Amino acid sequence: MPLVNTMGKDAFGFYNGYDNNTTLLKTIIPPNITAESYHNSKREVNEVYTKAGSLRQITYPTSGGIRLYTSVNQSGDYYAPGLKVDKVELFDQNGNVVNTKIYGYEQLEGLKIKFPDYAMLENPVDPALFGAPQCFSYSSENTFQQLHLPANFFYKKVTIKEIGDGKESTTVEFYDDPNPYATNEPLEEYVFQPVLTGREFYNGNPVSGVKVKSESYNYQPVINQQDGANIYEPLPPYLGNINLSDNGGYTTFPCLNYQPGFVVKSVRRAKWMRLESQSEVYFDNQGGSYIAESFHYYDNPSHKYATRIASTRSKGGFVDQEMKYPQDMVQASNDPLGVYQLMSSKNIIGKPIIFMEKMNGKSKGQMNEYTTSVYGFPVLGAIKSFNAVSAQFEERSRYNTYDSHGNILEMQNNDGPVICFVYGYSGRYLLAKVIGSNYNTVSTFINQTMLDNAHQYTDAQIQTELKKFETVWQQRKHK
């Protein structure tokens, strides 16, 4: 494994084994200066070292597991950051492979292998901001560019072949870069993530197999006038003074060596691509087909999540789904506790509060009722189901208690026993589920401090602590 402060990094920041690098700057000759190059770092991608420390196998406690086969993202002289998964094998307790998924990738959208990690111009920055009119601007990790790199790297076609139980099936996924669609002036200077435009499903392989289904997706760019909350982060640091050879002499170019400014990162992006419609075509064994289409409508103030989805099928049938989100509850004055206003202010706007579905004249629905925990953050308080006869929502489950980590400690289903949950490792892992007792009672006979710091105790000590649940259950059983 490489040292933490190694300079052996490829153009994307992954380890490449060149530990002799003394800088992360590429070999360059500055413009208008006759001199030998003064940097010699190697930023090429090295698959062997990129894989160092990557996950190769997971063994399940119940026997068996999965094996992962990976490689670098490369297509000709195009590279992308990190590794891609080429194959996943599921094996049984005897090590025999029982299921295999093979991934194929085509048409990588990336950068050339010679992609440098720095930006260099004679007057790249505003002198009023940086105070250095002749400053050559270098960024050792090119942080600003890397903020946008994930949006620019993707495969236009991904094939997934699955083999198991004597059967073979294939899924082909198609992706596209939505940025060429953003031709309107308000959408310029925004980088959109690649979008899934279609999928095809085959029994067998795409060449000799039978197509059973195809999907297509249509997107539109959206502008939201409410930019949402913004967070700020400092620009990457620039190098200090650099001496450059100039016809045998040396000229010092002063560069600032501190954080000179901030860039704004929006928590809730003001512009994005949203799904407008999707179409599914099903193929039967007789060569026939039928089509299912759905259209997405957005009446929510955020314009990001669909508030209505209308679906039709060529063989008949109509489904209408309606969703309400925290902002909708605030606008409808249906927020007596102020919890939905709190969720909206924190940009927790993607959780549906009310879901209703009408299919061929019949209605069903669900309400997720939120409340504020004793720790001040919004939590799910109850789940209610829609009663078509009374046209009212009736409680199905209630969540009574949460811990400071947001974990559910006590709940009860309608007409069912109370269920409580015990967590350890400072709320990271569930250790026990107790049916028939509330959390206040359970907490009186366990050492929660011990469970929260379980890493400081032996397995035997933790097992002894957890056996208290069995003891209490036996005592109650015989009462």
Spatial separation of the C-alpha atoms in residues 42 and 99, rounded to whole Å: 40
Closest CA to 388 of 349, 411, 356, 343: 356
Predicted local distance difference test score (pLDDT) of residue 25: 60
How crowded is the C-beta side of 345, counted as CA atoms within 13 Å?
A: 7
pLDDT per residue over 185-201, tens digit each? 333 444 556 789 999 99
How crowded is the C-beta side of 341, counted as CA atoms within 13 Å?
A: 9
Closest CA to 224 of 277, 182, 268: 268
Regions of the chain with pLDDT less than 70:
24-40, 110-152, 178-193, 223-272, 301-303, 471-479
Predicted local distance difference test score (pLDDT) of residue 111: 55
Q: Which two three-digit tokens encode residue 375?
A: 């720790």
Predicted local distance difference test score (pLDDT) of residue 350: 79
- By residue count, the chain amounts to 479
Q: Which two three-digit tokens encode residue 185?
A: 């002036």
DSSP 26-64: BP---TT--------B-----HHHHTTT---EEE-TTS-
For tokens 């940097």, name the residue: 39
Let me know: does 81 contact 13? Beta carbons within 8 Å. yes
Q: 354-359 and 249-253 as β-strands: parallel, antiparallel, unpaired?
A: unpaired
Reported pTM: 0.69
Instruction: Tell me how far the alpha carbon of residue 210 is from its chain's centroid.
Output: 33
114 to each of 80, 84, 228, 295, how far by Cα in Å?
12, 20, 38, 44
Spatial separation of the C-alpha atoms in residues 140 and 126, rounded to whole Å: 20
Neighbour count for residue 448 (Cβ, 10 Å): 14
Predicted local distance difference test score (pLDDT) of residue 351: 82
Let me know: does 142 contact 118? Beta carbons within 8 Å. yes
pLDDT per residue over 311-336, tens digit each? 998 888 899 999 999 988 998 888 98
Q: Which amino acid is at 28?
A: I
Predicted local distance difference test score (pLDDT) of residue 378: 87
Domain ranges of the chain: 418-479
Predicted local distance difference test score (pLDDT) of residue 193: 65
